[in-house]
Structure 1
C-alpha cells in the first residue's frame, strides 16, 4: 500500500482518536517517521480536531486548551501519542461538538421552513385582501343599482331596440332634482372589440344630440349600471355604437336603442 492509500484508508484518524491497538499504534508511528507526508497528515488531523473541540465543546478549560495549543506549536520530530484512557473527556467534547453542529443544522432547516411558511401566509393574506376588496366593490355596485332603481324621484325612460338590433333595450333613470342620470344597459349586447356604446340626450325640434357619456368597461361591469352626465332637459335618449373614445355626433346606422321622455 502506498502512502496515499495509507492516508486515505482512515487509519490515521483512528490513530489520532486513540482507537487503535498497541501494535497498530506502533505501525502508524513507524510509518510517520519514515514518511513525512504521513506525519504531516497526522498533525493536520490533530489541529482540525483541536480547532473543532475548542470552538464548540463546553468541556475544555482554558488551561487544557493552552496545553494542546503548545504541543501543536512544537516542531514535530515525532508523533504525539494519544492514549484513549486519558483523553475520554476530549472525546466527549468532540461528540458534543458534533451533536451541537447537527442541532444547529436542524434549527437552520426549521428556520428556513418557518420563513417559507411566513411567505406563503403573506401571499394567501394578500389574495384574501384582494378578494375582499373585489367583493366590497361588487357589493357597492349592487347597492348603487338598488338605490337608483328604488328612487321614487327618478324619471324612468324606456329605450327600445332599433333596426340594427331590434332585440336591444335599455333604461334611463333620470333624477331631475339632483341632475343624476344612470343607464341600465343590461339589454344591450357586448360591444365588439375597439367599439363603445355612447349615450345621447336629444332635443327633438330641431333634432339636437348631445353626448352625455360612454358605457366604458362594459364587460367588467356585472350590473351594467352606468352613471352619465346631466341630461340638459332632454326630450329623448338614444344609444349608438361608436369607435373607442366616442364620436362628436351619433352614427345613426349604429343606433341601438331610442326612447322619448
Structure 2
C-alpha cells in the first residue's frame, strides 16, 4: 500500500476520533513520525473537525459531534455535505416571551398601584366617617346630659336677665340640691371679644359678697350648658366679662346678666 492509499483508507480519521485499538494507534503514530504527509493529513483532519464544529454551533452537542464523526468515517475521501444551517427562532421567541412577561409585570404593577390607591381612598373615607360618627356620638351624649339636667326634678332654674351693658343677653342657672351641682346655660350670651372670658359669680346680697364659681373659656362647649363649682349659700348669680384667666373680683361695668335665687 502506497502512502496515498494509506491516507485515503480512512484510518487517519478513525485515529483522530479515537476509534482505533492501541496497536493501530501506535502504527499511525509511527507512520506520522516517518512520513510528514501523514502528519499533515492528521493535522488537516483535526482542523477540519474543529472548523466544522464551530460552523454548526458555538458549543457542539454530543449528538452533532457523533453525526460529524460518522460522516467523516463513511465519507473520508470527498467533501462532506452539510445542509445550510437554519436560522433558529429560539432567540426571537425568548425575547418575545421576555417582552410579554415585562408587559404583564407592568400591567400587574399598575393594577396593584390602582388597588392601593383605592384602598387608601376607602380608608380615608372610613376614617372621616368614623370621626364624624364619634363627633355625633359626643354631641348626642352632651344633648342627653343637658336634657337630663333640665328635666331633673331636683333642679331649680334661676333666670339671669340682661344688664345695662348687654340688655338682650340672658342666661339660666340650674341648681341641683340633690346632686350638689350647678350648671349654667350660656346660650343667651354673645360671643366674647378676643382675649375676654365670661366669669360666673355666686352672690350673697347682704352684704354683697361675690364668689367666683367658674371661668368659661368656651361658652359653646357641651351645647352651652356648663358645670361650675357648687355653692350652697348663693342668693343670686351674675355673669361678667373679664380678661382671659378671670378676675379676683367682678368687673361691675361688664356685668352681663344677673338673677336672684
TM tier relative to shorter chain: 0.5 to 0.7
Displacement after TM superposition at 1:170 (Å)? 0.7
Q: Shift of residue 152 of structure 1?
A: 0.9
User: Paired residue for 1:104?
Assistant: 105
Q: Map Cα deviations across residues 32-66 of structure 1 (whole Å, 9 max, x no partner).
A: xxxxxxxxxxxxxxxxxxxxxxxxxxxxxxxxxx9
Equivalent-residue separation in structure 1 for 2:222 and 2:207 (angstroms): 37
Partner Cα distance (1:95, 1:235) in 2: 95
- Answer yes or no: is 1:133 the counterpart of 2:134: yes
**Is 2:220 the counterpart of 1:216?**
no
Tell me how far apart the structure 2 counterparts of residues 158 and 84 of structure 1 sit (CA, whole Å): 110
| Distance in 2 (alpha carbons) for counterparts of 1:231 and 1:156 | 15
* Structure exhibiting the larger radius of gyration computed from Cα positions: 2
Distance in structure 2 (CA, Å) of the matches to 1:122 and 1:67: 59
Deviating runs (4+, > 6 A) in structure 1?
A: none
Secondary structure of the residue aligned to 1:248 is coil
Structure 1 stretch 117-126 or stretch 93-102: which is displaced more?
117-126
Q: Map Cα deviations across residues 119-160 of structure 1 (whole Å, 9 max, x no partner).
A: 222222221111111111111111111101101101111111
Unaligned stretches of 5+ residues in structure 2 = 1-57, 61-83
Q: Alpha-carbon deviation of 1:165? A: 1.2
Tell me the equivalent position of 2:194. Answer: 193
The two structures have a TM-score, normalised by structure 2, of 0.65
CA RMSD, 1 decimal: 1.9
Q: 1:91 to 1:165 in 2, by over 3 A?
A: same
With the length of structure 1 as denominator, give the TM-score of the two structures. Answer: 0.65
The answer on whether the counterparts of 1:170 and 1:185 sit within 8 Å (CA) in structure 2 is yes
3-state DSSP of counterpart to 2:230: coil
Q: What is the total number of aligned residue pairs between the two structures?
A: 181
CA separation in 1, counterparts of 2:167 and 2:218? Answer: 23
Q: Hey, what does 2:88 align to over in structure 1?
A: 87
